[in-house]
Amino acid sequence: MGMRMYYGDKPNYIQIGEHQFAERKLIGLWVSLMLLAWVSATNCARTYDMALSGQQERDFAAGGWQFGCVLTPDMVWDAFIILTLLDYNNCKDTCLHVPHTGEQKDRFKDAMRARNREVIEEGQDEISHCCDKCMRVWQRPDGSEYDV
């Protein structure tokens, strides 16, 4: 069984389907929309297809393109997973490696399990982080702080 290896920095284009690639900046937009605006993968895909793709499915089919060109929610989720795993491995200075064969939906399961296991066993890097932007401290009328 062959392996896909992701070395060093994140690539500018990431394979999100068998014959589909997306620009890293676009995937970053989807991740931001999903995390900040609670946009579903389905609506990320629909928005892209309606506003940004510039092509219609029939245009590609007429030209003999057999692989499809409509962005699917599964592709958005795969992009989300791949980019976040690449970010994680980049921070750890490790190489992401996944099976080259099999279904796209299954390819990253072991890498996600390893990341989840690390969070369970070691906690998140941000757990001890606090700053005035993301943490608020309430004070009692006598000036002492509430235990949160």
Q: What is the 3-state secondary structure (H, E, C) of the chain?
A: CCEEEECCCCCCEEECCCCCEEEHHHHHHHHHHHHHCCCCHHHHHHHHHHHHCCCCHHHHHHCCCCCCCCCCHHHHHHHHHHHHHHHHHHHHCCCEEEECCCCHHHHCHHHHHHHHHHHHHHCCHHHHCCCCCCCCCCECCCCCECCC
pLDDT value at residue 21: 85
The pTM of this model reads 0.71
Please indicate, yes or no, if residue 119 is contained in any of the structural domains. Answer: yes
CB 2 within 8 A of CB 99: yes
pLDDT value at residue 22: 92
Please indicate, yes or no, if residue 139 is contained in any of the structural domains. Answer: no
What is the pLDDT averaged over residues 74-84? 92
- Indicate the number of domains in the chain: 1
CA-CA distance, 146 to 148, in Å (whole number)? Answer: 6
pLDDT value at residue 113: 92
Please indicate, yes or no, if residue 137 is contained in any of the structural domains. Answer: no
Sign of CA dihedral 35, 38, 43, 48: negative
6: which 2 tokens? Answer: 């992701």
pLDDT value at residue 105: 76
pLDDT value at residue 43: 93
pLDDT band, residue 144 (cuts 50/70/90):
confident
Segments forming the whole domain that contains residue 116: 3-128
Q: Return the percentage of the chain with pLDDT > 90, whole number.
A: 25
CA-CA distance, 17 to 72, in Å (whole number)? Answer: 9
pLDDT band, residue 24 (cuts 50/70/90):
very high
82-101 pLDDT, tens per residue?
999 998 888 888 888 888 88
Tell me the average pLDDT of the chain. 81
Please indicate, yes or no, if residue 138 is contained in any of the structural domains. Answer: no
Please indicate, yes or no, if residue 53 is contained in any of the structural domains. Answer: yes
Please indicate, yes or no, if residue 78 is contained in any of the structural domains. Answer: yes
* Most confidently predicted of 14-23, 26-35, 131-140: 26-35
Please indicate, yes or no, if residue 8 is contained in any of the structural domains. Answer: yes
